[in-house]
Structure 1
Amino acid sequence: MNKQIAGYIQDNSTEIISKWQELMKNEESERSFQVMPDDLMNQTSKEFSDLMVTNLLENHEAYENQLTEFAEKVVRLGWSITFVTKAITHYVEVVYHGMENKGIINEDNVRAFVEEFSNWVTPIRDSTIDTYSKTWERTVSLQKIALQELSASLIPVFDKISVMPLVGTIDTERAKLIMENLLEGVVKHRAEVVLLDITGVPVVDTMVAHHIIQAADAVRLVGAKCMLVGIRPEIAQTIVTLGINLNEFTTTSTLQRGVEQALAWTNREIVEVED
């Protein structure tokens, strides 16, 4: 029966994919499918359909390769694991009802086909979830490493003045990395003023503020001044609401103002030169 189901899919792939796409578009809880360009949607749908057929034909090596490629693709597209399982369910429903409407599935063989469909969908759902989860974990891990590498460097912008731009959520692990790079950078660049730029930090809560205060205290211990820049209005409101005390070091709303203040601390200023 596997080959019979596979043959039906191959002979009616255009109709099956069209009906499946409509069902997926109606999943209101997931917007990733609706906003896909038509060419990408059609390509992804074709790849998914091919994956389902390959599993039926029991070509295990080809199936594993296709499954890995498809999992990597849908992770990049932002599909949730729930959406992926719904994709499998809807696809099987379309195939079953289509075979039923054409009389391929009837009262005489319905029990056998139900069992065959169950044997088809259960392993593919399990293997898809497992591969998706591994791909997602690997992707998140690589993104985390990349974020740490990009957002925890002390950058010298003027003699004696350095900036550390912080991007993303600051947890305990990242705070440790920030502290290490900050102290190493202050000594290496002989910085007298360090600007911590939190423009790219989406949320500043009590824990994040605690890490920032610790970093500022550490900078002072090695003989430099620390300034907190990039405080957006919503961040300022949160800091006040939480009662976080940032009175011990200077704060500014933008990096530009912070640089101007840092230059003043080092007895310099920005002047306009006429042509």
Structure 2
Amino acid sequence: MQPSVIEMIYSQREEIMKQWKDGMNNLEQNQFSHSLPSNLYHETNGNFVTLILDTLEMDEQDAKERFRSFAEPLMHTGWPLSYFTKGLQLFRRILVQMMTTDENLESKKVFETLDEVENWVDEVINQLVGEYTGSWENTLHLQKLALNELSAPLIPVFEKISVMPLVGTIDTDRAKLIMENLLEGIIEHRSQVVLIDITGVPVVDTMVAHHIIQAAEAVRLVGAECILVGIRPEIAQTIVNLGIDLHKFSTKSTLRKGIETGLELTQRRIVSIS
């Protein structure tokens, strides 16, 4: 960047910081600070604009490391990406306004350096977006791994009776894993009755019901009986409203009732010992 512009930024540093902080405080009625302590928001704003200005003295690699160190903790605590992008756009507008009103800068030089300012700020925005995207993709990957770990193998609870508890959202990839565990578990434990427990599934829509029906059909094909348990009242209402047909296999409201039915199907029952 041209020395005259850098000199202007240094000479106007305090004014730039003041205008930027004022702008961030008024930006869309302070949309970023409504859920944050006021002192934390203002402190973060101060650190952010100071970091932007300090990058003038850094090489590219140092600037990237500093921005990464600043942004990463904020990303992990839920600060929105728009905080960074709108903050940098505001910073760019302040600089452009100052350059076009500074009498010490020739108009020709102003236009020559506009591209440099644009490139400088755009590079910071692109870096922060890249960091945010990478962090989001990594978080999504970890969440998928956690959900896969929740896809527990079939659990034998009695001889010939097994339970598969489902927890969390069920998508196509997870449904495939559930199906594999289900069929492998039936063969391994020689199960005659399988209880699929959906107590921990927050939402049952058409797609989820389709995966469950497919699982039940697969259980029947390998010679076992399938019972769907854990149907809460709101889930039952959703199934009825969506017109989903679950008549091909038994359903029970609780795991206990499902186990009692499973015992009956295998000619057993629970009795009290006096």
- Whether TM-score is above 0.5 comes out as yes
The 8 Å contact of residues 64 and 127 in structure 2, kept in 1 or not, is answered as no
Residue 64 of structure 1, CA deviation: 1.9
Aligned pair partner of 1:106 in 80, 102, 107:
102
Q: Normalising to structure 2: TM-score of the pair?
A: 0.75
Query: In structure 2, which of residues 6, 9, 16 is the aligned counterpart of residue 5 of structure 1?
Result: 9
Q: Distance in 1 between matches of 2:16 and 2:50?
A: 9
Assess if the C-alpha contact under 8 Å between 2:24 and 2:30 holds in 1. no
The one-letter amino acid of 2:34's match is Q
Partners of 1:35 and 1:259 lie apart in 2 by 47
SS at match of 2:123: helix
Residue aligned with 2:203, SS: coil
Aligned to 2:171: 171
Residue of structure 2 equivalent to 1:26: 29
Shift in CA distance, 80/263, structure 1 to aligned 2, threshold 3 Å:
farther
Letter in 2 for 1:167: V
Amino acid at match of 2:22: K
Match of 2:269 in 1: 268
Aligned to 1:221: 221
Equivalences for 1:29-44 in 2 at 5 Å?
Answer: 33-37=33-37, 41=41, 44=44
Indicate the SS of the match to 1:73: helix
Give me the identity figure in percent.
47
Counterpart in 1 of 2:199? Answer: 199
Q: Would the aligned equivalents of 1:219 and 1:226 in 2 still touch at CA under 8 Å?
A: yes
After TM superposition, the structure 1 stretch with the greater mean CA deviation from structure 2, 108-117 or 151-160, is 108-117
Gaps of 5+ in 2: none
Corresponding residue for residue 88 of structure 2: 88
Structure 1 distance, partners of 2:90, 2:256, is 54
Which residue identity does 1:218 align to in structure 2? Answer: A
Q: 1:92 to 1:166 in 2, by over 3 A?
A: farther
Quote the Cα distance in structure 1 between the aligned partners of 2:225 and 2:43: 56
Q: Which residue type is aligned with residue 106 of structure 1?
A: D
- SS of residue matched to 2:68: helix
Point out the structure with max Rg over C-alpha: 2
* Cα distance, 1:26–1:222 mapped onto 2, change above 3 Å: same
CA RMSD between the two structures: 3.7
Distance change in 2, residues 1:27/1:5 (3 Å): same
- CA distance, structure 2, for counterparts of residue 198 and residue 26 of structure 1: 43
Write out per-residue CA displacement over residues 130-157 of structure 1, whole angstroms, 9 at most, x where no aligned residue.
Answer: 2322322222122212212223433334
1:123: how far off?
A: 1.6
**One-letter code aligned to 2:150:** L
AA at the equivalent of 2:269: R
- Give the CA deviation at 1:246: 0.3
Mapped to 1, the partners of 2:197 and 2:259 lie a distance apart of: 11
Equivalent pair of 1:152/1:177 in contact (CA under 8 Å): no
2:204 is paired with a residue whose SS is: coil
Pairs within 5 Å for 1:43-82: 44-45=44-45, 48-82=48-82
Preserved contact between residue 151 and residue 177 of structure 2 (Cα < 8 Å):
no
